[in-house]
Structure 1
Amino acid sequence: MRLGLEGGAAKRQGRAYIATGLLQAFVFCAATATSYTYFTAEAQAQTYRFDSVIVEGNARIGQSAILSQAGIARGQNLSAGQLNDAYQRLVASGLFESVAIAPQGNTLRITVVELPTINRISFEGNRRIKDDALTALVSSSERRVFNPSLAEKDAAAIAEAYSNEGRLAARVTPRVIKRRDNRVDLVFEIFEGDIVEVERLSFVGNRVFSDSRLRRVLGTKQAGLFRTLIKADTFVADRIEADKQMLRDFYLSRGYVDFRINSVNAELTQERDGYFLVFNVQEGQQFKFGQVTTVSEMPGVDADEYQAVTKIRPGVVYSPALVEQEISRMEALAIRNTVDFMRVEPRITRNDRDLTLDIEFVISRGPRVFVERIDIEGNTTTLDRVIRRQFPVAEGDPFNPREIRESAERIRALDYFETAQVNAREGSSPEQVIVDVDVAEKPTGSLSFGGTFSTANGFGLAISFVERNFVGRGQSLKLDFSSAEEAETYGISFREPALLGRDLGFGLQLSYSESESSSYTFDTESLIFQPSLDFPLSENGRLSVRYTAESIEVLGRDPSENGVIIDDDIAAGAQFRSSVGYTYTYDTRRSGLDPTAGVLLQFGQDFAGLGGDSKFIRTTGKVVGQKRIFNDEVILSATLEGGVLSWSEGNNRAIDRFILGPNIMRGFEPGGIGPRDANNGDALGGNMFLSARFEAEFPLGLPEEYGIRGAVFYDVGNLWDLSDVNLNGGSVQGEDGSFRHVLGLSILWDTPIGPLRFNFTDAIKKEDFDRDQSFDLTLSTSF
């Protein structure tokens, strides 16, 4: 970049300008200090009266503005101290490079040298941070007076921005290039330096959990193979406090109540390009819940009634989150019983002998404090009501500090804001509280381009536009386009999470897809329209209801390749189906009593026949269990899944029935098992299926920065039944079904461009007509 004079001459002249200015300022200040020391000593009691004031050296700033800044008027009696104050005010104004005040009889002469104005601000040497982002950091601005001290502060702010990105060696130097008419160009010369990474992240004092397990807890990561693509391995000092809190929460949720972090040492490598980060911890002993009781100190409140809603039982590993959940249940019961100002305080008794903690929930009457109002600031895009609905209380309701804390967490969980601060302060009276919400918006829209690959559908391009806070209403809008070698999908989806201001979600989905799978001798086209509603039924349970209108058509490729059964499906043409359905989900994987275990239950049904060409009932169910063992190093998971299709009217086609893919039964191609046309091998699907999948994921002993883990799995499944199907005189294999068994080994590689999974499988029991698959590779990502 060039500004003003050509090349190095311009910069040398700029440096000479600053050096000359500093020398002149030093000489002037020394002379001024000497003269004013003498002036003050000689004229302590002397007063001055000036009939005229002469201002010299000003070109841009008017005489009246200078006199106003100095606080001097003609004919005014001034002491020597007041003259010195006038001088100090002119110096402090930041408008002048130098100021001189000299009394000459009845005339006061003020001589100033104006600071130049900034003609242009530019940045040189920056590649990692763009000009627009740097401009937002500096306080100096064009067409304003150049202030050397402010320019130094701006340089420090830029250096700090680079430091936050891990470039601790970044240097920023402000330079000026002199222009005519007392103007300068301000240039920030930037040396970005290299990223300072976390070369090694280790722990001292941990006996229960390994270093690799604890590393997965922290936000800071250790530099690995893909260090040029990962920003989490950059050393950022401000991230350490957040990491320490994550570590405390991890141990406390597992019952280690005495856990503490003794120190965190960050040692710079000899090459000064990385840090060795060491957490010195003390784990302590694991505690479990002992006796859990409830007492009431509030008249009219029955402790037994509130004890009945507790779910913690003796022997469960202690967790503060579980205690908070019990308090929430009791307070919710108090609201249902119209009991106001009830407070629940947990009193903990420690039993070191058996390593248990007795919890006594004490119910008492809290202070009569009400919410006067909720003030929201900083939301330039998001509507107030989106933030207000995160609060279970409104103006005039009893004030509950715990509810306010939980509301603050819900606001942050929206992920609409860079920062979100929620504080309570005293209102118009001691009985009133004002809740202040201060947020800073951040972008919530994204446009992503991605690539997908699977052995089933080949390579594909995925384009997605997502707006998570559509027009500031908290709604989400998503547009999708994906194209693989054998499948194309176009879709739009919309979701309103709080319909009518309640915890009632509304969704709308419209999609169109085409498939040309090599696993079949036919193609398909489908168009689906599906609105839905979902709402909570319990703490961990949620119900979703939906209406589905879909048109699906089977298209033939080569008539000579189709069997007589598929020919009947093709002859049926496009079939329209209209159905209503529901899905109930119960999920404790994040909110259960055991942080190392969880379960997911899903049960759903669709009833078709509200018009359309078909009438049937489709029932599906799934149970998933997960457990971490060996100090969270090994993850065990088990899944049981099944479905039944009961057909009444219309054409029961292959695409309407269940077809098992690798997501349900590994070791086979899509449609690789189940009933099949005996003549040409077309997969016909089945009205019933049942599968069970068992997997153990474990470390391989490789350095954690490689991101590679292993897994072994065992899948067993069956697909059968072609009742209510027009076989059109064709012969079928495997209609009665049989259970297939698959053993497999997986390599899981967590790469920066997405999770990569290699499956090596062996179908130890299968049918002769099945189409097995000994290797499967899946990669899915957005970038």
Structure 2
Amino acid sequence: MKAGSRFLNAVSAVALSAGMVATGTGVLTLASATSARAAVVQRIDVRGASRVGADAVRSNLTIQPGQSFSNADIDASVKQLYGTGYFSDVRISVSGGTLVVNVSENQLINQVVFNGNRKIKDDKLATIVQTRSQGPYSEGLIEADIQQIKSAYAGIGRSDIDVTTQVVPVGEGRVNLAFVINEGERTKISAINFVGNQAYSNGRLSAVINTKRSNFLSFLTRKDVYNEDKLRADEEALRQFYFNHGYADFRVISSDATLDEQTNEYVLTFTVEEGARYDFGSVNVESTVDGVNSEDLQGLIESRSGDTYNARDVQKTMEAISKRVANAGYPFARVTPRGNRNFENNTIGVDYLVDQGERAYVERIEIRGNTRTRDYVIRREFDMSEGDAFNQEMVTRAKRRLDALGYFSAVNISTAPGSSSDRVVIIVDVQDQPTGAFGIGAGYATGNDGGFVLEASVEEKNFLGRGQYIRVAAGGGQDDARNYSVAFTEPYFLGYRLAAGFDIFRNSSSSEKYYDYAETGFTLRVTAPITEDLSTTLRYNYKRFEYDGEGDWNVGDNLSAPYEALINGSPWTRSSISQTLTYNTLDDMTLPREGFYATLTHEFAGLGGDSEFYKIYGKVRYYTTLSDEADVIGSLSVGGGHVVATGDNLNIFDQFMLGGRDVRGFDSSGIGPRMANGDPLGGTTYFTASAEASFPMPGIPQDIGVRGAFFADAGTLYGNKVNTLGEGVAGTDSSLRASVGASIVWASPFGPLRFDYAVPVLKEDYDEEQRFRFGISNQF
């Protein structure tokens, strides 16, 4: 019986004009809805609530003894009792001065268990379902829980799941409920199609989106997992890609996911409309705010007339102008870009209008969706807090920072009206994603320092949801090579935007030059931002060097005098402080296509220990896309360094070593000054340069992440301040070395791996070659 019928039948009509008339059953009848408002009962009789209790039933009624009520009150009481979930049937009637409430109780859940689940653990599923122990047994609630479980499994790529329930009575109206889960096979993505694209190939657009086709490594990367949120994020990635490459009219017409239930595979189809490609026309700043001079803001414009239209440049310009104006004492000033399209020559002129916006304040920042990351980790990425002036550009900047953290699969920031017209509520919706990684890296190098090297590491970028970074690694190779390291970073030290941390390490090996070598040390560091692109890092560095030539090694017959001095004087220590300036405008740290990455470091050693020197060195690398259509990326880099002794001499390990890391085709310390027996001494001055062009490997889907490259390297290392104890030294001049070669780079789940083959074209007779090198890529 429906609730509406129950309460209408529960109350009979009484004609007040004729007085109250009692029927043979004792049930009152009300003549009309108007007269119903005059009905009053003196007590409430609850029947059938043996487990829930009569008081609990009465507390859910809108009718109270001694107060008038109507049919609407009875209807509301019935609905409220059903809403508790504890009752399968509710009937309310009036007998004399008594309101009679008859209920039939649902069974109570004694225990909720999960069977058959392996991919999602019990504790995770327990937070997903709403059915709880000691709660009511509700068919509707259980059906909703089944759908929630299926959605959770779809989120990890298992749409082929089946969920049933088993109910076991345990007496006294209680049951045990089991969700029986058949996880099925992983749901794969067999194809990703693009329709309507002319400027860019399917492969190029596949590299833009985060969702990938299934391949033999998908079980590690999990990038072939389909869900609606990722599809929306991929649409936005496509829009940003086209907007940043001149296609201001681009739009995604549709994005569809079709599941083939026979093969349990999705086919994704993006239908797009590219539109025309635009360049920037005239770009200007106009201000209507008293005290804000347009000419003073002109230098903040990122783009120039004739450049390819780029929405990222427009956004960065808006943020820069907004920040400058706010710092000048105009927190409510608003920056609005006005685009003027010229369809004849395909240009867009942009006027940045600065006006006095409405006064609005942040009432609160509401964080939603974070199940692991703590609220304060998200809030601290905003440059404003509750009570501050609302600034849309700061909101956009906060979103970019949250995206860059890598903690979330989706970030969406919206606004809502506050409690008054000048109050704004900022709503931040996020979805946590896994941030831990277990990596296995392998490398191989030929030459004197060659051999296989294997390293395993555990990394967590969002430790305990606090935004902290921690990494523990251990590795080893032939010739008793061993290395261990621990790194930790707190990105907001003492509540400020200071990234403080430490590194602890130990490396040891046995050399073909007949000595054992080990270095142990630690670094304390703190990084502070200067601007959005520029930061500075201060470090204290300590290293202890140990050389051992005893045992089976025949030191005197094989080592030069400086190396014998090292062994006889072991251990040696270095205590230094250093500062690094880092300038970074790269669009992507994993596979950069545009931007600069530059570092400049100067270091002073002499705070105790055996080293006394001042050293300065740096490197600049520039990336640009040579062909958008073919996804060919070019890069140029130059580097250099110089060290001077602040004491009598330098140690071997204080000078620069140059080799295959900078000039491929040479051994690790294969370039520069060395003793007559071949022992490398390093040098006081070096310069390097490199040019490279990378491209997708033909015949290999770009989803795999394999790229080829051609390169040319050049460099020189010269000068010596090591006391050679009278022995002769070769290679102290600035002779240029150069090489050309090819590479294969694979963005593997274990880290970026690189295979280089280089041929030296300029070299000295005493240099040591190493034409093939395989290892973990580290271009920064």
Does TM, scored on the shorter chain, surpass 0.5?
yes
Q: Does the 8 Å CA contact 1:519/1:669 hold for their aligned counterparts?
A: no
Query: Cα offset for 1:404?
Result: 3.0
Mapping of 1:193-204 within 5 angstroms? 193-204=184-195
Match of 2:298 among 295, 301, 307: 307
Residue 18 of structure 1 corresponds to which residue in structure 2?
Answer: none
CA contact (8 A) 1:416 1:469 kept: no
- Rounded Cα–Cα distance in structure 2 between residues aligned with 1:306 and 1:140: 59
Given the alignment of the two structures, is residue 740 of structure 1 paired with residue 747 of structure 2, yes or no? no
Please report how far the alpha carbon of residue 228 of structure 1 lies from its aligned counterpart in structure 2 after TM superposition: 3.4
Name the amino acid aligned to 1:607: F
Contact 2:331–2:391 (8 Å) recurs in 1: no
Q: Are the counterparts in 1 of residues 691 and 713 from structure 2 also a CA contact under 8 Å?
A: yes
What residue number does 2:627 align with?
Answer: 630
Q: Distance in 2 between matches of 1:255 and 1:114?
A: 66
Q: Does residue 1:190 correspond to 2:181, yes or no?
A: yes
- Counterpart of 1:130, as a letter, is K
Quick check: 1:525 aligned with 2:518?
Answer: yes
Tell me the SS of whatever aligns to 1:672: coil
Q: In the alignment, is the contact (CA less than 8 A) between 1:470 and 1:477 conserved in 2?
A: no
Matched, 1:515 2:508: yes
Q: Distance in 2 between matches of 1:591 and 1:449?
A: 21
Say whether 1:458 aligns with 2:452.
Answer: yes
Q: Distance in 1 between matches of 2:332 and 2:45?
A: 73
* Alpha-carbon separation, structure 1, partners of 2:380 and 2:58: 56
Task: Indicate the SS of the match to 1:281.
Answer: strand
> Which residue number corresponds to residue 130 of structure 2?
139
- From the superposition, tell whether residues 693 and 116 of structure 1 become closer, same or farther in structure 2 (CA, over 3 Å): same
Q: 1:493 to 1:760 in 2, by over 3 A?
A: closer
- Residue 334 of structure 2 is matched in structure 1 by 343
Question: Of the candidates 149, 158, 173, which is equivalent to residue 164 of structure 2?
Answer: 173
Cα distance in 2, alignment partners of residues 591 and 230 from structure 1: 18
Change (3 A) 1:712 1:108: closer
User: Is 1:433 the counterpart of 2:423 in the alignment?
Assistant: yes
Q: For the Cα contact (< 8 Å) 1:462–1:483, is it kept in 2? A: no
In 1, the alpha carbon distance for the partners of 2:676 and 2:516 equals 20
Q: Distance in 1 between matches of 2:745 and 2:275?
A: 33
**Structure 2 residue aligned with 1:621:** 618
Q: Are the equivalent residues in 1 in contact too, given 2:520–2:543 (CA < 8 A)? A: yes
- The partner residue of 2:541 within 548, 552, 556 is 548
Length, aligned pairs only: 745
Which stretch shows the higher mean deviation, 476-485 or 288-297? 476-485
SS in 1 for 2:711: strand
Alpha carbons of structure 1 residues 457 and 335: separation in structure 2 relative to 1, 3 Å: farther
Higher mean C-alpha displacement, 434-443 vs 458-467: 434-443
CA distance in 2, matches of 1:58, 1:462: 62
Contact kept? 1:470, 1:476, Cα under 8 Å: no
- Residue deviations 1:169-188 (CA, integer Å, cap 9, x gap): 32212221233333322122
Pairing of 1:277-356 with structure 2 (within 5 A): 277-356=268-347
**TM-score w.r.t. length of structure 2:** 0.83
1:515 and 1:53 map into 2 onto residues whose CA distance is: 84
In structure 2, do the counterparts of structure 1 residues 754 and 419 end up closer, same or farther at CA, with 3 Å as the change threshold?
A: closer
How far residue 216 of structure 1 moved from its aligned partner, in angstroms, is 0.8
Q: 1:209 aligns with which of 200, 211, 228?
A: 200
Q: Which runs of 5+ in 2 are unaligned?
A: 16-20, 28-41
Given the superposition, is the C-alpha separation of residues 629 and 331 from structure 1 closer, same or farther in structure 2, using an over 3 Å criterion?
Answer: same
State the SS of the aligned residue for 2:128: coil
Q: Which moved more, 1:743-752 or 1:263-272?
A: 263-272
Cα pair 2:754 2:775 within 8 Å, conserved = yes
Q: For each residue in 1:566-600, what CA deviation from the matched residue of structure 2 results, as whole angstroms up to 9, or x when unmatched? A: 112223333333433322222332399xx953222
Counterpart of 2:681 in structure 1: which amino acid?
A: L
User: Which aligned pairs between 1:716-755 and structure 2 lie closer than 5 A?
Assistant: 716-722=714-720, 724-736=721-733, 738-755=735-752
Deviations 1:73-132 (A, max 9, x none): 999999999999987776665434456789999999987654322222222222222222
In 1, the alpha carbon distance for the partners of 2:289 and 2:754 equals 58
C-alpha change, 1:284 and 1:660, in structure 2 (3 Å) is same
- Which deviations, in whole Å up to 9, do the C-alpha atoms of 1:314-366 show, x marking residues without a partner? 11111222122222222333234334532222221111122111112222222
Taking structure 1 as reference, are residues 463 and 292 closer, same or farther at Cα in structure 2, changes over 3 Å only? Answer: closer
Indicate whether 1:688 and 2:685 are aligned: yes
What residue is the counterpart of 2:669 in the other structure? Answer: 671
Do 1:755 and 1:779's aligned partners in 2 also have CA atoms closer than 8 Å? yes
Q: Distance in 2 between matches of 1:744 and 1:198?
A: 37
8 Å contact 1:306–1:330 — kept in the other structure? yes
Judge conservation of contact 1:619–1:645 (CA < 8 Å) in 2: yes
Q: Which secondary structure does the structure 2 equivalent of 1:353 belong to?
A: coil
Which stretch shifts more, 213-222 or 326-335?
326-335
Give the letter for the 1:143 counterpart.
Q
CA 596–500 in structure 1, closer or farther in 2 if over 3 Å, else same:
same
Partner residue of 2:758 out of 750, 761, 767:
761
Q: Which of 699, 707, 712 is 2:696 aligned to?
A: 699
Tell me: CA distance 1:237–1:568, structure 2 relative to 1, closer, same or farther (3 Å).
same
Corresponding letter in the other structure for 1:579: S
Q: 1:34 to 1:582 in 2, by over 3 A?
A: closer
- Distance verdict in 2 for CA 1:174–1:338, change over 3 Å: same
Deviation of residue 540 (structure 1)? 2.8
Deviations 1:505-549 (A, max 9, x none): 353435342321545433333343433444344553333333434
Check the 8 A contact 2:549/2:567 in 1, yes or no: yes
> Residues 650 and 516 (structure 1 numbering): CA distance in 2 closer, same or farther, change over 3 Å?
farther
Q: 1: CA distance between counterparts of 2:535 and 2:64? A: 77
CA distance in 1, matches of 2:441, 2:310: 42
Q: Describe the SS at the equivalent of 2:682.
A: coil
* Aligned pairs (5 A) from 1:477-488: 477-485=470-478, 486-488=480-482
Q: CA offset at residue 393 of structure 1?
A: 3.7
Q: Say if 1:46 and 1:773 are closer, same or farther in 2 by CA, change over 3 A.
A: farther
Cα–Cα, structure 1 residues 46 and 125, in superposed 2: closer, same or farther, change >3 Å? farther
- The amino acid of 2:127's aligned partner reads A
- 1:619 counterpart letter in structure 2: I
d(CA) in 2 for partners of 1:283 and 1:768?
57
Counterpart residue type for residue 710 of structure 1: G
Q: 2:38 matched to which residue of 1?
A: none
CA distance in 2 between partners of 1:404 and 1:612 (Å): 49
The answer as to 2:567 corresponding to 1:570 is yes
> Judging changes above 3 Å, is the alpha-carbon distance between structure 1 residues 214 and 330 closer, same or farther for their aligned structure 2 residues?
same
| 3-state SS in 2 of match to 1:304 | helix
Q: Give, in whole Å, the separation in 1 of the partners of 2:540 and 2:73.
A: 83
Q: Which residue is 1:649 aligned to?
A: 647
Change (3 A) 1:651 1:359: same
Give the C-alpha shift of residue 34 in structure 1: 11
Q: Distance in 2 between matches of 1:36 and 1:613?
A: 93
Question: Which range moved further: 134-143 or 451-460?
Answer: 451-460
Distance between the aligned counterparts of 1:376 and 1:33, measured in 2?
Answer: 40
Instruction: State which drifts further: 724-733 or 208-217.
Output: 724-733
Q: Give distance in 1, aligned partners of 2:224 and 2:217.
A: 10
Shift of 1:395: 5.6
> Is the 8 Å Cα contact of residues 166 and 235 (structure 1) preserved in structure 2?
yes
Corresponding residue of 2:245: 254
Contact 1:641 1:692 in 2 (8 A): yes
Deviation, 1:457, is 5.9
Cα contact 1:451–1:780 (8 A) shared by 2 = no
8 Å contact 1:170–1:190 — kept in the other structure? yes
Asked if the contact 1:600/1:625 (under 8 Å) is kept, the reply is yes
Following the alignment from structure 1 to structure 2, what is the Cα–Cα distance between the partners of residues 353 and 58? Answer: 79
Residue of structure 2 in register with 1:125 after alignment: 116
